[in-house]
Chains A and B, each alone.
Chain A
Amino acid sequence: MWPVVAVVVSPVLLVVLWLALSYNRFASQRASIASTWAGIDVQLQRRHDLVPNLVETVRGYAAHERAVFEQVTRARAEAVRAEADPTVDPAGMARAESSLSGATRALLAVAEGYPDLQAARNFRDLQAQLVETEDRLSAARRLYNIEVQHLNRRVEAFPSNLVASMFGFDPATYFELTDLAARRPPSVAD
């Protein structure tokens, strides 16, 4: 009698065990994605804080370059709004951040035409901080996207896709900067 029960029950137990393990791994992956996203958020916030200082510093030497200042201010406001809005997904945030990167690059390009500004210590410090922030953002973005890549693969692959559909684990969205040039941090002039 017992051997028959064991033969019937064992496969069921194995399936239940596999379901539990697979579910827990999905849950852990989702937590990792949230955690790495928080890393991106910190760096975006840091960048948003740096940009106004950079604008003011450049304005002190090149007050008539209004169009560039307005462009940067508008792009920053849009990026801050996207970051604060919980309905904006990572793709939407990436678009806003790409615009801000483009505008910041334009601002630095303008700054290159002013040797006094280039020599100003305050400007150089801000520029170095911006490079460091972009580096950190790039690292945080990669960590996040690696987690997304692994989750999405499991959501699509058999048999883990069965668990994903059963418990509502959806594919996550990558955080990709749409502006290719924005993927690279601005360089610091020596």
Chain B
Amino acid sequence: MIFKALFGGGERMESAYRDVAAANGMTPTEQPLGQSDDWLQQSFELLPDGDRDRSAVWSMDTDVQLVLGGTPVSANAAAFEWWWEDRRTSQTSNGHTSTTWDRQSLVAALVRLPVPADLPGIRVQREGAFSRLGIGGRGDFQVESEEVNRRYDIRVQDRERAIRLFDAEFQSALLGAFADVTFELGGSWVLVVAGTPSTRVFAGEARRGGDPGIAGWFTRSGDLVRNDEGIVAALPDVAGHAAALLEAFPADFWRAVTSGGT
């Protein structure tokens, strides 16, 4: 709330947030699916801690009906903006050190699957520049597709269960419909991050009312638009794209995570 007061644009922003949520059948909430900032940050490495402060804002929850591996499933989903502050230190001309705080944010969707889903720990994100050059990038999980290996940094806790996610079709989807998607699984939770961290990701696209498509949402890393309405308008779509991603997971994977198979 303090964040909203400082950065959020006040009543106009609050009103837009509630309007967008209502128009999309979503519920404005203090925290995504009732989870605290600490829990979110500690549960997902994709949500940076920052050097000073971080928080989830503009959270809106909804129920989603998914078909996972051919089985209809009801799940809870939330979309929100996650912001954090990084310290930047520089030397001034007179020899003093000055510290500034660089505020960054990303848009994410959180999905809670019904028990007995037991998702293995898997984190998928775009490969960093060093890893692409082969420096320090050999610890990640490899699949059959060299293109997927080149483009993604995949970290897994249980290789045998993880390999079931990356079947030929899903590997192809990672290079097509879900190109450059960033997500993290664990337990009964899924976090999908849209775009790369920046100030006001996607806001320009959302305000123009265009339909960038699933690949577009995940790859476009955003104009620097500082109008919060853009972020809020994008949230329902981000939740929708997370649901689409889950439905693209192979049936074999869902069979493994719901049967307790290893």
Contacts and interface: CB of A to CB of B under 8 A. Distances in A.
A140 B259 contact: no
B70 to A, nearest CB: 11
A143 interface: yes
B25 to A, nearest CB: 33
B142 A140 contact: no
A143 B262 CA distance: 14
Interface in B38-93: none
Given A146-B142, A146-B143, A135 B163 contact: no
B143 A132 contact: no
Contact of A39 (B143, B160, B164, B252): B160
B4 interface: no
Interface string B234-262: 00000000000000000010011001011
Nearest to B138: A25
A24 to B, nearest CB: 12
Q: How large is the interface on B (under 10, 10 to 19, 20 to 34, 35 or more residues)?
A: 10 to 19
Nearest to A131: B255
A142 B167 CA distance: 9
A27 to B, nearest CB: 14
Interface in A97-140: 132, 135-136, 138-140
B128 to A, nearest CB: 20
Contacts of A143: 159-160, 163
Given A135-B164, A136-B160, A140-B160, A146 B261 contact: no
B144 interface: yes
Interface in A32-53: 39
A136 B252 contact: no
Interface residues of A, number: 13
A135 B161 CA distance: 10
B163 A136 contact: no
Contacts, number: 30
A146 B262 contact: no
Interface in B92-127: none
Given A132-B259, A132-B261, A146 B144 contact: yes
Contacts of A81: none
A150 interface: yes
Contacts of B142: 146, 150
A140 B162 CA distance: 11
A146 B143 CA distance: 6
A149 B145 CA distance: 10
A138 B256 CA distance: 12
B259 to A, nearest CB: 7
A140 B256 CA distance: 13
Given A142-B163, A143-B160, A136 B262 contact: yes
Given A146-B144, A149-B144, A139 B259 contact: no
Interface of B: 142-144, 159-161, 163-164, 252, 255-256, 259, 261-262
Given A132-B261, A146-B143, A146-B144, 19 more contacts: A39-B160, A135-B164, A135-B252, A135-B255, A135-B256, A136-B262, A139-B160, A139-B161, A139-B163, A139-B164, A140-B160, A142-B144, A142-B163, A143-B159, A143-B160, A143-B163, A145-B144, A146-B163, A150-B142
10 contacts: A39-B160, A136-B160, A136-B262, A139-B160, A139-B164, A143-B159, A143-B160, A146-B163, A149-B144, A150-B142
